[in-house]
Amino acid sequence: MKVMIINGPNMNMLGDREHSIYGSMKYQDLIYALHNYAKGYGISLHCVQSNSEGKLVDYIQECFYKKYDGLIINPAAYSHTSIAILDALTILTCLKIEVHISNIQQREGFRNQSLTSLAADHMIMGHGVNGYFEALDFLYLKLQKK
Ligand code: CA2
């Protein structure tokens, strides 16, 4: 089972600031813990992060061409603006989970809507970094049943 995790702009700064919103776990520590967790499920995990919209589209297309079974994506600020990422996700046929660390519906108005989530099969938000682990649980259970 092949799963990609894509994180959008500024997510590499996780744990460096805004602890009250995003928690104190460092990005690299999160990635390390996710790799260990995925190993327990026998999932082969590939984690990437970019600050560029086009690069995020390239990673989504990689999921398509390399036949990934599942994608977990936090498009970060691009969730609220990017039709390019929405289109790339719409083309992708594997199981897609959108994760947000914070509850975007309880924050500033400009964060309340996620355009990219229109193409997601499932969304987890407001569970802190645990949301990524829950997304792996969800993918594993769904893909097992296929
Ligand atoms: O809650 C989330 O996961 C977000 O996707 C995080 C994005 C934000 O733009 C979305 O509205 C909600 C990125 C926030 C900025 O990233 C930082 C991460 C760590 C420390 C400081 C900023």
Domain map of the chain by residue range? 2-145
Residue nearest to atom 5 of ligand 1 (CA): 76
**Ordered per-residue pLDDT tens for the chain, 146 residues:** 999 999 999 999 999 999 999 999 999 999 999 999 999 999 999 999 999 999 999 999 999 999 999 999 999 999 999 999 999 999 999 999 999 999 999 999 999 999 999 999 999 999 999 999 999 999 999 998 77
> With the CA atoms of 64, 69, 75 and 81 taken in that order, what torsion angle do they form, in degrees rounded to the nearest 10?
50
Q: CA-CA distance, 50 to 42, in Å (whole number)? A: 26
Report CA 135 to chain centroid distance, whole Å. 8
The predicted pLDDT at position 145 comes to: 79
Q: Point out the ligand 1 atom lying closest to the alpha carbon of residue 131.
A: 3
Q: Which residues fall within 8 angstroms of residue 111, CB to CB, at 6 or more apart?
A: 80, 104
Burial of 108 (0-12, 13-18, 19+ CB in 10 A): exposed
Catalytic positions: 22, 100
Summary mean pLDDT of the chain:
97
* Ligand 1 centroid distance, CA of 144 (Å): 31
Contacts of 19 (CB under 8 A, 6+ apart): none
* DSSP codes joined into one string, 51-84: S-HHHHHHHHHHHHHTT-SEEEEE-GGGGGT-HH
Q: Which of 65, 64, 29 is nearest to 47 (CA)?
A: 29
Residues 2-145: name the CATH superfamily: Dehydroquinase, class II (3.40.50.9100)
Residue of 104, 107, 124, 134 to mutate, ligand 1, most atoms within 8 A of C-beta: 104
